[in-house]
Amino acid sequence: MRLPLIAGLSLLLTSPAVADPLEQAVAADLPSLVALYKQLHASPELSFQEAKSAARLAQEAKKLGFAVTGGVGGHGVVAVMKNGEGPTLLIRTDMDALPVVEQTGLAYASKVVTKTPDGVETGVMHACGHDIHMTSWIGTARRLAAMKDRWSGTLVMIAQPAEERGGGAKAMLDDNLYARFPKPDYALALHDAANLPAGTLGYSRGYALANVDSVDILVKGTGGHGAYPHTTRDPIVLASRIVGTLQTLVSREINPQSPGVVTVGSFHAGAKHNIISDEARLQLTVRSYDDATRKTLLDGIARIAKGEAMAAGVPDDKMPVVTMNDTFTPATFNTEPLTGQVAEAFTARFGKDRVVETPAVMGGEDFSRYWLADKSIQSLIFWVGAVPKAKWDAAGGDAAKLPSLHSPFFVPDPEPTLQTAIEAMTTAAFTVLGKGK
């Protein structure tokens, strides 16, 4: 997902983090963490295939004294540490990578090749930074285990499968996550950002990421010779009408102050110049924040597909088939007062020049499900800048000139990204669990 340019972000990160035992401990641990990060980057695994990554995280957590359970919702890992009276905090990392052939040129670039569930051979890459997430999860676990005198309560650290397919959080919850393990009062996660320089943090109030729906439309027709179109019912023409009319859903049917996206990402039909096919297939991604806008868009897609077919004289038995994919990812919402409290703690530690409030984005994140499963939970996901400073400066601070998340060229700057991420997540944990807060 490409994130929007953050206006007003200082190009010079002139406010260093407060020098204290936490910063010094993370810095001392950084060489081993960077080595671990490079190992994880070079060994990516696709969604629901994260066996080796899960085993490594479980091993690290066990060494720190956590009670560790594997195999939750697939390859999910749950690590629990009880440290006296207090609230329960869940900290999540995701583990899966993407079917992307890496083109970074890094010495530790992924050379992994595997097959997708549908049998397509593909390269695999951590093009969304889940290797950064896993490494910072381990770094945070190390700091919290070593600094138990600073906090009180129960820490539940989970390593989640299949975020990229939108199914991992649901799988863990369906595997009775909240019944088998301490149910959280608070939930935290982070995500690296391709639109912020390394060493900075971003956060959003309220909605942070969008509802994500995938929709398939099968447009039926009657095929034949391209020289005699009058003897056919051309599904390509009908599908093209549907694509055009779909654009009015956002421009004319939803409130301009309620964002929405309807994108036709795939249009497949036919195999030869002079043959009119008997079907066309469309694949859509649909984005929204609130439930009402989502319903308007999804209902509208089905209505438009049927209406255009009726206008074209398609008989009832050949109406388009609209299928809503079951990998729906609900919108992610950052709650108050947790968001404000953590943002204040970040600013106190890192300085206001390194902490920015960011607009919500139309990307998706299934971290949302941990809050939706029980809305009494306070929840926050925040951004950690990952762009190397030299590249940020060369682009003039314009993220549109830089590789986005999911790009085969996306390269986080490991040292400052991990240092900031671990300090930030540990600080957020202290904000929730800290003694005398």
Print the SS3 string covering 292-306.
HHHHHHHHHHHHHHH
Instruction: Report phi then psi at 306, rounded to 5.
Output: -70, -40
Note whether residue 12 is domain-resident: no
The residue whose two tokens read 């868009």 is 297
Residue where a domain stops, chosen among 299, 324, 349: 324
218 and 250 share one domain: yes
Which positions ≥6 away from 391 have C-beta within 8 Å? 402
| Position 10 in a domain | no
Cα angle for residues 354, 357, 363 (degrees, 5° grid)? 115
Domain termination residue (choose one: 283, 308, 324): 324
Whether 125 is covered by a domain: the verdict is: yes
**Residue ranges of E strands in 313-434:** 321-324, 332-334, 355-357, 378-387
pLDDT at 19: 58
Classify residue 434 by its DSSP letter.
Answer: B
Compute the distance between CA of residue 403 and CA of residue 436 in angstroms, rounded to an integer. 43
Q: Give, for all 437 residues of the chain, the pLDDT tens digit.
A: 434 444 444 433 444 444 589 999 999 999 999 999 999 999 999 999 999 999 999 999 999 999 999 999 999 999 999 999 999 999 999 999 999 999 999 999 999 999 988 888 999 999 999 999 999 999 999 999 999 999 999 999 999 999 999 999 999 999 999 999 999 999 999 999 999 999 999 999 999 999 999 999 999 999 999 999 999 999 999 999 999 999 999 999 999 999 999 999 999 999 999 999 999 999 999 999 999 999 999 999 999 999 999 999 999 999 999 999 878 999 999 999 999 999 999 999 999 999 999 999 999 999 999 999 999 999 999 999 999 999 999 999 999 999 999 999 999 999 999 999 999 999 999 999 998 65
Looking up residue 314, the CATH number of its domain turns out to be 3.30.70.360
Residues 429 and 394 in one domain: yes
Query: Which one of the listed residues 45, 60, 96, 423 is annotated catalytic?
Result: 96
314: nearest Cα among 241, 244, 242, 235: 235
50 within a domain of the structure (yes/no): yes
On whether both 72 and 121 belong to a single domain, the answer is yes
pLDDT at 325: 86
pTM above 0.75, yes or no: yes
**Residue 24, class by beta-carbon neighbours within 10 Å (0-12 exposed, 13-18 middle, 19+ buried)?**
exposed
Beta strand pairing call for 279-288 and 113-115: unpaired
Report yes or no on 374 lying in a domain. yes
Q: Locate tokens 């670039």: which residue?
A: 109
Distances (CA, A) of 38 to 3, 107, 108, 424: 25, 9, 6, 21
CATH assignment of the domain containing 168: 3.40.630.10
Q: Is the domain of 178 the same as that of 197? A: yes
Instruction: From 406, 362, 414, 367, select the one nearest 94 (Cα to Cα).
Output: 367
**Domain with 378 in it:** 21-210+331-433
365 is catalytic: no
- Verify that 220 and 83 share a domain, yes or no: no
Structure tokens at 152: 């009180």
Nearest-angstrom CA–CA distance, 369 and 169: 6
Whether 231 and 167 map to the same domain: the answer is no
Alpha-carbon span 301 to 299, nearest angstrom = 6
Among 48, 43, 328, 56, which residue's Cα sits nearest to residue 162? 48
Distances (CA, A) of 15 to 6, 106, 204, 272, 335: 18, 30, 21, 61, 27
Q: Tell whether 11 is covered by a domain.
A: no
Q: Output the pLDDT for position 437.
A: 55
* Radius of gyration of the chain measured on its C-alpha atoms: 24
Separation of alpha carbons 104 and 131, rounded Å: 15
Q: Do 297 and 240 lie in a common domain?
A: yes
Same domain (yes/no): 361, 270: no
The domain total for the chain is: 2
Show the DSSP H helices in 64-150 as ranges. Answer: 130-146
Domain boundary among 309, 324, 339: 324
Query: Which of 50, 163, 365, 366 is the catalytic position?
Result: 163
> Are residues 53 and 187 both part of a single domain?
yes
Same domain, 342 and 315: no
Residues 72 and 180 in one domain: yes
Tell me 198's DSSP state. Answer: T
Residues 13, 354 contacting (CB under 8 angstroms): yes
Query: Are residues 156 and 93 both part of a single domain?
Result: yes
How far apart (Å, rounded) are the C-alpha atoms in residues 54 and 145? 19
The Cα–Cα gap between 141 and 145 comes to: 6
Q: 115 in a domain, yes or no? A: yes
How far CA 83 is from CA of 88, 145, 178, 371, in Å, comes to 10, 10, 19, 24
In a domain, 52, yes or no: yes
Extract the tokens encoding 249.
């859903």
